[in-house]
Amino acid sequence: MEKQQKIVSMFNDIAGTYDVANRVLSMGIDKSWRNKACNKTFELYGQKSIEKIVDVACGTGDMILFWEKVANENSIEIKNIIGIDPSVGMMEVGKKKLPHVEFIEAGAASMPLESESTDIISISYGIRNVVQRQEAFYEFARVLKKDGLVVINEFTKNKKEKLLDHLTDFYMNKILPVLGGLISKNKEAYTYLPNSIDEFLTTENLCKELKKAGLEPIHVKAFSMNISTLIIAKKL
Give, in degrees to the nearest 5, the angle at Cα 83 between 64 and 179: 65
First to last CA, the chain: 30
Nearest to 151 by CA among 35, 37, 33, 36: 37
- CA neighbours within 13 Å on the CB side: how many for 12? 11
Distance CA 121, CA 145 (A): 10
Torsional sign, CA 69, 34, 123, 150: positive
124, 63 contact by CB (below 8 A): yes
* Residues 6+ positions from 28 with CB-CB distance below 8 Å: none
Binding site members: 60, 85, 124
Binding site members for S-adenosyl-L-methionine: 60, 85, 124
